[in-house]
């Protein structure tokens, strides 16, 4: 047969469809990997922010004095001395 190098139209179409399918699968894999990397980076950033804010809250608590309810009830009110306005 002289046309042995030429595939029937349906075989060519099938090969083209297979090729397109493989390309789509490859694009899918690449996109999935890229998205997974972005997700991982965002998760790490969120975790880092949580740790940073947790440490900040702990540092702020160190500077706060504990309030003793009984000490407050026994405390005498203080009189504030404000300057009087001049005429």
What single string gives the DSSP state of each residue in 64-81?
A: SPPPPHHHHHHPPPPPP-
CA quadruple 3, 5, 11, 13: dihedral sign: negative
Give the tens place of pLDDT for each residue, 31-69: 999 999 999 999 999 999 998 888 777 777 776 656 666
| Domain span holding position 50 | 10-62
Query: Residue 70: inside a domain, yes or no?
Result: no
Query: Residue 81: inside a domain, yes or no?
Result: no
Mean pLDDT across the stretch 8-27? 91
Number of domains in the chain: 1
Question: Regarding predicted confidence, which is higher, 13 or 7?
Answer: 13
pLDDT mean across residues, the chain: 79
- Residue 50 CA to residue 43 CA, distance in Å, equals 11
Q: Are 39 and 31 in contact (CB under 8 A)?
A: no
Query: Residue 5: inside a domain, yes or no?
Result: no
Query: Residue 73: inside a domain, yes or no?
Result: no
Query: Residue 47: inside a domain, yes or no?
Result: yes
Question: Regarding predicted confidence, which is higher, 71 or 36?
Answer: 36
The alpha helices in 1-87, defined as continuous H runs, are 9-63, 69-74
């Amino acid at each position: 047969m002289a046309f042995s190098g030429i595939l029937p139209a349906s075989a060519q179409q099938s090969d083209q469809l297979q090729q397109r399918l493989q390309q789509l699968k490859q694009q899918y894999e690449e996109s999935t990997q890229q998205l997974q990397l972005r997700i991982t980076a965002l998760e790490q950033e969120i975790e880092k922010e949580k740790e940073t804010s947790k440490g900040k809250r702990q540092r702020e608590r160190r500077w706060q004095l504990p309030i003793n309810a009984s000490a407050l009830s026994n405390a005498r009110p203080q009189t504030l001395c404000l300057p009087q306005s001049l005429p």
